[in-house]
Amino acid sequence: MQRDLEQRGIPTVSPTVSLDVTQHAKPPRAVFLPFLMGHHFGVPFHRDLQRRIILECLDHLVNAERPGEIRFPSITWAQARREGIEIERRLGLR
Amino acid sequence: MTEASSGSGSGRGQLRPGLWDTVNERYPGSMIDKMDFVPLAPVRKPLSECRLVFVSTSGVQPKGTMPFDTVHPVGDYSFRRVPSSARPEDLEIHQIKYPTMGANRDINVIFPIERLRELADEGVIGGLTENFYTFIGYNMDPERLERTLAAEIATAVSEEGADIALAAPA
């Protein structure tokens, strides 16, 4: 679907947590996050991380130079979870 | 850091290594496997002038719409329109194919509708299309997926006047 949009002239980008799937599907642009499936934009209530992932995707949309290029931001799942837990504690959710 | 997609399938850092092989063994022929890349469409305007569409395989849908069929033998090839103005409490997920514990607490984890609205309100992006589009990744026939669902969504997205697309799997 992403390839179809690209061929219609709409530039696309997608986050992925499954590098092997992406390498087979060959989308035009992708951003790899080492996250859990179903958590492509991070962890609950971590607005800054969710926003950062979107902005990484948009920056890659603009700056990617080659079809199939994958970007690897320096974010880890452990870091995301740690920060998310701290945020939930501050919000009184844990 | 970037790299070209090499097809090596090293599973570099992903939490579920070998996912493509695992799913393709369980549902033979269901996984998308392309031999080439499509040329990049250029971004013709500054992001602050671009209208963005979000397309997702999360299966997020407005409450009251027909649930996606996650158990049909050949999958579900339908899509739903999700108004980009929708509130999280207006949406629901019927999914058994991916972990939803994060999305059940904060839908932005898989469907960042509030984050995208904020970016539009701030002028980082020019705006959002009236609707976002969702479907599910559980479809056993990739050729049928391309011929029907992908083409239908691409047509709908074009008609919405999208300049750029953020696409997200689940």
Each residue's pLDDT tens digit, B101-157: 999 999 999 999 999 999 999 999 999 999 999 998 877 788 888 888 988 999 999
Strands, E assignment, B5-93: 51-56, 60-62, 80-83, 91-93
pLDDT band at B12 (very low <50, low <70, confident <90, very high): low
- The domains of chain B are located at 47-168
Number of domains, chain A: 1
Q: Which of B128, B3, B58 is nearest to A31 (CA)?
A: B3
Q: How far is B47 from chain A (nearest CA, A)?
A: 8
Interface check for A79 against chain B (CB to CB < 8 A): the answer is: no
Burial degree of B36 (CB within 10 A; 0-12, 13-18, 19+): exposed
| Residue type (1 letter), B156 | A
User: What pTM was estimated for this model as a whole?
Assistant: 0.93
Q: What percent of chain B has pLDDT over 90?
A: 59
Average pLDDT over residues B3-18: 63
Which of B8-12, B18-22, B158-162 has the highest mean predicted lDDT (pLDDT)?
B158-162
B108 contacts on A by Cβ (under 8 Å): 41, 44, 47, 50
Q: What is d(CA B40, CA A27) in angstroms, rounded to the nearest whole number?
A: 10
The rounded distance, in Å, linking the Cα atoms of A21 and B94 is 23
Q: What is the mean pLDDT of residues B71-77?
A: 83
Q: What is the dihedral of CA B12, B16, B21, B27, to 10 degrees?
A: -150
Tokens at residue A47, please? 């607005």
Residue written as tokens 């320096």?
A74
By CA distance, what is B163's nearest residue in A?
Answer: A10
Size of interface A-B (CB pairs under 8 A): 227
Task: Print the domain residue range for A16.
Answer: 2-90
Residue with the bigger pLDDT between A56 and B69: it is A56
CB A37 within 8 A of CB B59: no
Instruction: Judge whether residue B6 has pLDDT over 50.
Output: no
Of the candidates B108, B68, B74, B69, the one whose C-alpha atom is nearest the C-alpha of residue B88 is B108
* Distance (Å, whole) CA B169 – CA B55: 9
For the stretch A5-62, pLDDT in tens is 999 999 999 999 999 999 999 999 999 999 999 999 999 999 999 999 999 999 999 9
Is A49 in a helix, a strand, or coil? helix
Say whether B157 and A5 touch across the interface (CB within 8 A). yes
Predicted pLDDT of residue B72: 81
Q: Which of A5-19, A65-79, B3-17 has the lowest mean pLDDT?
A: B3-17
List Cα–Cα distances, B73 to B23, B77, B138, B139, B141, in angstroms: 15, 12, 10, 9, 11
pLDDT above 70 (res B9):
no
Contact B34, A24 (CB under 8 A): yes
CA distance B159 to chain A (A): 11
Q: Mean pLDDT over all residues of chain B?
A: 89
The average pLDDT across B16-38 equals 86
Q: What pLDDT is attached to residue B3?
A: 64
Alpha carbon distance A55, B79 (integer Å): 26
* Structure tokens, B87: 């509130």
A51 within 8 A of B120, measured Cβ to Cβ: no
Task: Reply yes or no on whether the pLDDT at B4 is more than 60.
Answer: no
Alpha carbons B101 and B98: distance in angstroms, whole number? 9
Helix (H, G, I), strand (E, B) or coil at B132: strand
